[in-house]
Structure 1
Amino acid sequence: MTLVRCADASRTFGRGDQAVVAVHGCTCEVEDGARVAIMGSSGSGKSTLLHLMAGLELPTGGAVTWPDLGDSPVERSRDIAVVFQGPSLLPALTVAENVALAAVLTGTDEAEAGERAVVAMESVGVAGLADQLADTLSGGQSQRVAIARALALRPRLLLADEPTGQLDAETGGHVLDVLIAAAEESGAALVVTTHDAAVARRLAEHWQMNDGRLVVPTREGVA
């Protein structure tokens, strides 16, 4: 089953002489259960492509569709979760409140969202931090909580934008372990953008972004 399909999708920011093409005509599909690394240097367009897959950005050319995730943005918001590169927690809320928030905002009953939050926090090893304010956490703890928040949605598609990019190698390795294990346990497809070959090696498929252009190898290894 195809969760997201990009058909010659492009994204341009600005107009006229100020226009910047971040993504040029990308064509790709993410299937149920996929494990994909999108590799590329800073500014290559990989984060923009991830945002197109999430529906956070709209294509300015081509199309992005979600064949097996429903027709409306509201339906898709329950099935797609994003772990961002930078800080994304609300500092004035506790860890537990942060983890439950996305589920609540997508229509889950508060009691159920709270129960999902407990399960998600336990699965990534942050249950002991439940009552701490988010602004007291370390970088690694914050990313684990962000992963828990994504899992509380119980998504079918988990998108992670450079989840280890701002962490040291050891902490980043632990966060990646948690992310992959969580995707395995939940059955979600996982797409990770990264500039780190060591991160990419942990995932089955390797796509490459260069200057906004995507290369997706075929099964025979031919682009």
Structure 2
Amino acid sequence: MTSADVLVECHDAARTFGRGPAAVVAVHGATCQVRAGDRIGVVGPSGSGKSTLLHLLAGLERPSGGRVSWPALGTGTGGSVPPHRIGVVFQGPSLIPALDVVENTALPLVLAGVREGEAQRRARRALQELGIADLALRLPEELSGGQAQRVAVARVLAQAPRLVLADEPTGQLDRATARHVIDVLLSAVDVIGAALVVTTHDRAVADRLAVRREMHEGRLLDPHGTQGARP
């Protein structure tokens, strides 16, 4: 692969919260790349820095040190990644309670300036592709945890990003439902041709992905347990 295939790259990227004696280093100098077609699992216990690393990759957090860039995605105003090139499946509930499933799925498109009719058409198609079109008119409170996460995946699928980042997408689900959500996620990125990075504390989930990396106390480890390497 060439540099044109590198969707996101961290070079010695760090993230610290707070200042002085109360400062907490969530990520220590991570150097990594995510390339087109990658299927990566980042595994580690709660508090190991996985979510913060994912937020750096998504451009949701700015590094306190080092740099993050998106060579194959371009950059928008202020060097940020352009909207909808990256889709994020957040940990825990992320649907707006007052909107039904199809409205939740279409919302990011509407906010991006897509006409409401076209946004809803794309949302319904994503729901259909994930086998949950029958949920279209339900409110989030009427969904199970697994259904809500599948809707969150559909919302990302509707945007057709080049990179999907999923933060502990199965953390609150039972094992059978978690397995199904990962099936849905893998199928979705195959449909849109996106790369995928999943953070998880569940090694069974990480093992479903082609590449596995570990985080420990804010440090990204290579396959041999030392700091460094690409996810």
Pick the TM interval, shorter chain: over 0.9
Write the letter of the residue equivalent to 1:28.
C
Aligned to 1:167: 173
* Selected match of 1:61 from 65, 90, 95: 65
Aligned to 1:70: 74
Q: Does 1:131 align with 2:137?
A: yes
TM-score (normalizing by structure 1): 0.95
Q: What is the rounded CA distance, in whole Å, between the counterparts of 1:110 and 1:33 in structure 2?
A: 31
Counting matched residue pairs gives 220
* Selected match of 1:93 from 56, 81, 99: 99
Aligned to 1:4: 8
TM-score (normalizing by structure 2): 0.92
| Cα offset, 1:116, TM superposition | 1.0
Write the letter of the residue equivalent to 1:156.
R
What is the alpha-carbon root mean square deviation over aligned residues? 1.5
Q: Is 70-79 or 150-159 further displaced after alignment?
A: 70-79
Aligned to 1:42: 46
Aligned to 2:35: 31
Q: Does 1:178 align with 2:195?
A: no
Query: Where in structure 2 are there 5+ consecutive unaligned residues?
Result: none
| Cα offset, 1:85, TM superposition | 1.1
Q: Is 25-34 or 127-136 further displaced after alignment?
A: 127-136
Aligned to 1:15: 19
Q: What is the rounded CA distance, in whole Å, between the counterparts of 2:125 and 2:153 in structure 1?
A: 12
Aligned to 1:51: 55
* Selected match of 1:148 from 148, 154, 158: 154
Query: Where in structure 1 are there 5+ consecutive unaligned residues?
Result: none
| Cα offset, 1:175, TM superposition | 0.6
| Cα offset, 1:125, TM superposition | 1.6
Q: What is the rounded CA distance, in whole Å, between the counterparts of 1:167 and 1:146 in structure 2?
A: 14
Post-superposition CA distance 1:74-130 (Å, at most 9, x none): 762221010011100001100000000011112322222111101110111211010
Maintained 8 Å contact 1:28/1:216: no
Q: What is the rounded CA distance, in whole Å, between the counterparts of 2:81 and 2:50 in structure 1?
A: 25
